[in-house]
């Protein structure tokens, strides 16, 4: 009953967010192993500046990618139909789970000795993509799988963005999206900070 662009454009924006976080995690491992983090630690700036700057850059990257993908979707026929504020909000939705996923990847990167652990997060985001309502309508999945697909974070994100563009429920999927994101951040943020300090001060 509606163009698949209203689901696929948000999905691709989320894939860009999660896959980019994986690449960023690999870069963080390289900076740690080459001693760059340790050198930055002696610079006269706030100890949290490195992590805050990295996460801020990640959020800017996600918003920029979403803008490019949104404009591309509009060329193909995607349209915003819910007003100015809903349109503006649409571009920032991927940063919610994107930030949480970046924190998860950074935590794994700081604790891991081998890149395979961080690279595995790309597999996780790939599975989330294939089993989301942005890839295939919920009704097309087996009934036993539908509750999992409906409630996973990429589906929540797609549904929120679909509601903000073409119309539909926003509050319920937003609650799910926020829950997933806050739980991941709550679990990872302290271990990430501890591992970052250890990586910066080793040797």
Residue of 69 and 117 predicted with greater confidence? 69
Q: Which tens digits make up the pLDDT trace of 101-116?
A: 999 999 999 998 888 8
**Per-residue model confidence as pLDDT tens digits over 163-196:** 999 999 999 999 999 999 999 999 999 999 999 9
For the segment 7-17, the average pLDDT, to the nearest whole number, is 95
Residue 130 is predicted with a pLDDT of 93
Considering the chain, what percentage of its residues have pLDDT values greater than 70? 100
Write the pLDDT tens digit of every residue in 28-39.
Answer: 999 888 888 888
What is the CB-side half-sphere exposure of residue 163 using CA atoms within 13 A? 16
74 in helix, strand or coil? helix
Q: What is the mean pLDDT of the segment spanning 4-33?
A: 92
Mean per-residue pLDDT over the chain, rounded: 92
Calculate the CA dihedral of residues 147, 122, 24, 6 and round it to 10 degrees.
-50
CA distances from 141 to 1, 44, 138 (A): 18, 54, 6
pLDDT confidence bin for 17, thresholds 50/70/90: very high
Evaluated on CA atoms 145, 151, 154, 155, the torsion sign reads positive
Q: Which of the two residues, 115 and 66, has the higher pLDDT score?
A: 66
Summarize the confidence of residues 112-124 as an average pLDDT: 88
% pLDDT > 90, the chain: 74
pLDDT-based confidence at residue 92 (cuts at 50, 70, 90): very high
Euclidean distance between CA atoms 32 and 196, whole angstroms: 9
Strand residues in the chain grouped as ranges (E)? none
Lowest mean pLDDT among 24-28, 97-101, 112-116: 112-116
* CA-closest candidate to residue 173, choices 85, 97, 116, 112: 97
């Amino acid at each position: 009953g509606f163009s698949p662009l209203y689901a696929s454009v948000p999905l691709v924006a989320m894939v860009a967010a999660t896959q980019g976080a994986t690449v960023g995690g690999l870069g963080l491992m390289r900076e740690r192993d080459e001693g760059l983090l340790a050198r930055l630690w002696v610079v006269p700036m706030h100890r949290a500046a490195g992590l805050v700057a990295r996460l801020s850059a990640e959020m800017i990257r996600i918003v920029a990618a979403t803008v490019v993908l949104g404009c591309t979707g509009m060329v193909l026929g995607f349209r915003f139909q819910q007003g100015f504020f809903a349109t503006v909000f649409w571009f920032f939705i991927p940063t919610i789970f994107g930030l949480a996923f970046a924190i998860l990847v950074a935590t794994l990167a700081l604790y891991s000795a081998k890149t395979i652990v961080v690279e595995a997060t790309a597999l996780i985001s790939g599975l989330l993509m294939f089993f989301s309502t942005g890839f295939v309508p919920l009704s097309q999945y087996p009934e036993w799988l539908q509750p999992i697909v409906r409630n996973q974070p990429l589906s929540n994100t797609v549904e929120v963005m679909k509601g903000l563009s073409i119309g539909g429920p926003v509050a319920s999927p937003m609650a799910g999206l926020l829950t997933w994101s806050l739980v991941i951040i709550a679990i990872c943020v302290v271990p990430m900070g501890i591992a970052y300090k250890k990586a910066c001060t080793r040797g």
